[in-house]
């Protein structure tokens, strides 16, 4: 079957690929082979950590059979890739950690299953910070495809820079056209921040809208799956397939039916009230980022939206609150990795306790150990009330701040991060610098609100800048509509790194 589209396959978005496959312009096998070849040709970026060509092509052949039979799903034959935090039967699942090196899951995560049910074909697994802990994707302990040792993921706009994290491999795969769309996870900004740094679109839905079953846990009250793609339209297609209740397997899954997030993409945003929080535009915001965000907000005004000044007074407290709650939950979740049932086990030990100690010392990286120790400390006797309980109280106040703000606006807009992507190794000796970079994404995560990053222009060195949009609970359709209308008026989401 010959390809009749005028664009190269890797330049087609999810919607265009789905249409081309239905119109028999190319086959699912051709699309899969094309993207697998792209993944291998650009493996220097370190985006993929696992490929399984036989499994991918078998899925593609099955998709072609369904397309021929007229029983195609919404994403039939569209190639996607998954962050290596989701367990998969056909690919190893390591969460970027030596602790899970070589682990093969006996089942697929619910999000993986739902996308497969919609017809998506899995290309492989994508690099991420170990157990999703990081803002730069420099914390992975797994060798990317084509590498003999662990290596950081590189931003395709400037390979001396970080791509953001923890979903860095996911963002790079989309930006470099190694996959049309991918899954990511967002605990404190891990979809939105790398999407911003790599110039793509990413959305974190309301906490509980997408099942966490089969998603290797970091912080259970914060972790949320979401799609990353080039456009809001493509994200809407994926999110429609990913969401839905999963009460039998995930107790945090909300009993809210999935919806067609594409249905209202083209609605007018005339009269839409966009809240501008004063706290997001303070002295820590780089001038180049502010200029791009301001220009995007002016576009919204041209489209008929109204900018409304608002306040989120506890924004600064989100960093200490998050870095108490998230490590506390991590220390509990990661206690299962002890070398007994699965994963890495130390070779030489004297007794059971010694095996625990050596296994965990060898298996976990520095950032994971740091967070486990912080979490164990704040949960320990005598400190629980002083730290963890106080953090939970302030978390509720942060959520209340948003509800007060939404009385006078429909959406909230601002920067995703204070700067563009920084140099690899720049924050190496200062983990706090990474933590501070999450200041604008953490408040929405703590409140469990939906949020997204939309390409908004370019800053220093021609590096991408993302506009963050935050909605009230279950307002994903409104977010995607606002993002889509901006993308109809601008072309930032269509631009791609040179040399690819």
3-state secondary structure of 54: helix
CB 192 within 8 A of CB 441: yes
CB 157 within 8 A of CB 171: no
Query: Which one of the listed residues 135, 136, 140, 166 is annotated catalytic?
Result: 166
**DSSP symbol at 204:** E
Bond preceding residue 166 cis, omega within 30 of 0: yes
Strand 201-204's sheet: what is its strand order?
A: 48-51, 121-126, 79-83, 181-186, 224-229, 201-204, 451-458, 464-471, 411-415, 273-277, 306-310
∠ CA(356), CA(358), CA(362), 5° rounding?
Answer: 120
Of 95, 80, 100, nearest in space to 341 by CA: 100
Query: Which one of the listed residues 190, 196, 211, 445 is annotated catalytic?
Result: 190
The C-alpha atoms of residue 259 and residue 403 are separated, in whole angstroms, by: 24
Phi, psi of 445 (to 5 degrees): -65, -45
> Is there a catalytic annotation at residue 347?
no
DSSP letters, 388-417, are: IIHHHHHHHHHHHHHHHHTTT-SEEEEESS
Query: Which one of the listed residues 15, 27, 83, 114 is annotated catalytic?
Result: 83
> Is there a catalytic annotation at residue 83?
yes
> Is there a catalytic annotation at residue 166?
yes
Phi, psi of 183 (to 5 degrees): -100, 150
Integer angstrom CA distances of residue 401 from 277, 311, 318: 11, 8, 12
The C-alpha atoms of residue 385 and residue 364 are separated, in whole angstroms, by: 28
Active site residues: 83, 166, 190
């Amino acid at each position: 079957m010959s390809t009749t589209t005028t664009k190269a396959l890797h330049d087609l978005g999810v919607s265009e690929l789905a249409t081309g496959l239905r119109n028999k312009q190319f086959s699912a096998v051709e699309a899969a082979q094309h993207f697998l070849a792209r993944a291998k040709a650009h493996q220097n970026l370190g985006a993929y950590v696992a490929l399984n060509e036989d499994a991918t092509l078998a899925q593609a052949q099955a998709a072609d059979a369904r397309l021929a039979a007229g029983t195609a799903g919404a994403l039939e034959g569209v190639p996607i890739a998954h962050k290596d935090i989701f367990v998969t039967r056909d690919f190893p699942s390591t969460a970027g950690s030596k602790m899970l090196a070589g682990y093969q899951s006996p089942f697929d995560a619910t999000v993986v299953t739902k996308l497969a049910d919609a017809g998506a074909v899995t290309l492989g697994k994508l690099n991420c910070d170990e157990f999703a802990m990081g803002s730069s994707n420099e914390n992975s302990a797994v060798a990317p495809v084509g590498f003999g040792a662990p290596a950081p993921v590189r931003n395709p706009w400037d390979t001396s820079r970080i791509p953001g994290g923890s979903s860095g491999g996911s963002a790079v795969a989309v930006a470099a056209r190694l996959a049309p769309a991918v899954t990511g996870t967002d605990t404190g900004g891990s979809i939105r921040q790398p999407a911003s740094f790599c110039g793509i679109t990413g959305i974190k839905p309301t906490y509980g809208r997408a099942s966490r079953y089969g998603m290797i846990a970091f912080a259970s009250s914060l972790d949320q799956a979401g799609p990353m793609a080039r456009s809001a339209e493509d994200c809407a297609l994926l999110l429609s397939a990913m969401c839905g209740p999963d009460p039998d397997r995930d107790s945090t899954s909300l009993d809210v039916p999935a919806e067609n997030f594409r249905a209202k993409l083209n609605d007018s945003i005339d009269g839409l009230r966009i809240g501008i929080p004063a706290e997001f535009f303070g002295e820590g915001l780089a001038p180049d980022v502010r200029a791009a965000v301001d220009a995007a907000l002016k576009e919204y005004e041209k489209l008929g939206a109204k900018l409304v000044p608002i306040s989120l007074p506890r924004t600064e407290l989100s960093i200490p609150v998050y870095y108490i709650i998230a490590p506390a939950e991590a220390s509990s979740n990661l206690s299962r990795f002890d070398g007994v049932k699965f994963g890495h086990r130390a070779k030489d030990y004297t007794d059971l306790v010694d095996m625990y100690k050596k296994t965990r010392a060898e298996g976990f990286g520095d950032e994971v150990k740091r967070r486990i120790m912080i979490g164990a400390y704040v949960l320990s006797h005598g400190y629980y009330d002083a730290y963890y309980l106080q953090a939970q109280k302030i978390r509720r106040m942060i959520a209340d701040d948003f509800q007060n703000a939404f009385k006078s606006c429909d959406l909230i807009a601002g920067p995703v991060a204070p700067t563009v992507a920084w140099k690899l190794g720049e924050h190496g000796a200062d983990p706090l610098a990474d933590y501070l970079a999450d200041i604008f994404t953490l408040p929405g995560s703590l409140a469990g609100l939906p949020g997204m990053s939309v390409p908004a222009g370019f800053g220093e060195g021609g590096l991408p800048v993302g506009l963050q949009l935050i909605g009230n609970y279950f307002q994903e359709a409104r977010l995607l509509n606002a993002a889509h209308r901006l993308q109809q008026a601008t072309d930032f989401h269509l631009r791609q790194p040179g040399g690819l």
